[in-house]
A and B are shown apart, each in its own frame.
Chain A
């Protein structure tokens, strides 16, 4: 019960109210919210539910944090990828694993990067469960990027920093070979 109350409180703090309308890629013409796009608290299981909602041909999940230099460095490439492929049914779920106390820094970074679609914040304390639910091969090191197909099947996993060319190859593989 306390956890449920805590999650509701966190959701309110994070501005969940504006988030319900769509977790999908926003159309390019839509304007971002004044305070930035919503940041939604998620557990790994909740994240996978969203991945499997059948609303995208490819979903890229990127685990990042403001304190993680390689994450910050690769972030613009993923954002460029999202912009280049959103019309082809590709979406990117950015999941910050920053502590709640770092939320202002997360918001600031997302705003600076011009992120205009909802992103996520890890809301699960047990790291082992969080990591293994996403992928048993993931050591927990950041950044980590997962590429899922339309059915929510994990097709590619990359631990460590990537770049546009790498991410593009991975999503093109899924787009061309939907299985």
Chain B
């Protein structure tokens, strides 16, 4: 009986620790976290920008991404297409790399600059120098997309589309569909999706 209780307690402790380490992911209707909306982050062009700086008149698309993840690489051309297109529609776009480059060397600032140039990102690609922006959003892996309306309320979160590995087999372009609905003042067809991706390599808290 005593062993039952001790195992039970151990399992509960593990569960509590796991829960305490995970941050709640933003849900549709949530606002851009006020704790990080004005955090300045280094862009690949040397400027320092916050999410507030890039807010668009019709909404804001925040993308958590990186250089190193195969899922990101599979989607990267499509991320550039959708991000560049969204910006032209009056949606502010910012792509954030929250990975600690000491844990993931391919996520260095220099590689970010190179990648932005190669892929033709017309939107900022910035460094989350403490990983706290990702923590505040409850972002867990890359790539993850958060679309906010003009009032700063989350209207879509999840994957870019429904097929990372094969662009030709995509049936649902979640982010594009959500932006089109937002621009047309229509309900968002699918407000929440998921994708497998690479865990964000969070910087240690000091």
Interface residues of chain A, those whose CB is within 8 Å of chain B, are: 63, 65, 67-70, 97-100, 102, 122, 125-128, 130-132, 138-143, 156, 158-160, 166, 169-170, 172-173, 176-177
**Which residues does chain A contribute within 8 Å of B179, judged by CB atoms?**
none
Please, which residue of chain B has its CB at the minimum distance from the CB of A142?
Answer: B199
Q: How far is the CB of B175 from chain A (nearest CB, A)?
A: 13
- Is there contact, CB below 8 Å, between B195 and A128? yes
Interface residues of chain B, those whose CB is within 8 Å of chain A, are: 3-4, 7-8, 10-11, 14, 18, 21-22, 25, 68-70, 74, 103-104, 140-141, 158-159, 162-166, 169, 193-201
- Is there contact, CB below 8 Å, between A160 and B141? no
Contact of B141 among A98, A99, A140 (CB under 8 A): A140
Q: How far is the CB of A167 from chain B (nearest CB, A)?
A: 10
Contact of A159 among B7, B22, B164, B194 (CB under 8 A): B22
**Which residues does chain A contribute within 8 Å of B198, judged by CB atoms?**
67-68, 142
Contact of A140 among B3, B21, B194 (CB under 8 A): B194
- Is there contact, CB below 8 Å, between A126 and B199? no
Q: How far is the CB of B71 from chain A (nearest CB, A)?
A: 9
Q: How far is the CB of A166 from chain B (nearest CB, A)?
A: 6
Q: Which of A99, A125, A128, A158 has the most chain B CB within a 10 Å cutoff?
A: A128
CA A8 – CA B104 in complex, angstroms?
37
CA A143 – CA B22 in complex, angstroms?
14
- Is there contact, CB below 8 Å, between A156 and B11? yes
**Which residues does chain A contribute within 8 Å of B18, judged by CB atoms?**
158-160
**Which residues does chain A contribute within 8 Å of B8, judged by CB atoms?**
173
Please, which residue of chain B has its CB at the minimum distance from the CB of A139?
Answer: B140
- Is there contact, CB below 8 Å, between B169 and A127? no
CA A79 – CA B155 in complex, angstroms?
42
Q: Which of A68, A102, A177 has the most chain B CB within a 10 Å cutoff?
A: A68
**Which residues does chain A contribute within 8 Å of B199, judged by CB atoms?**
68, 70, 141-143, 160
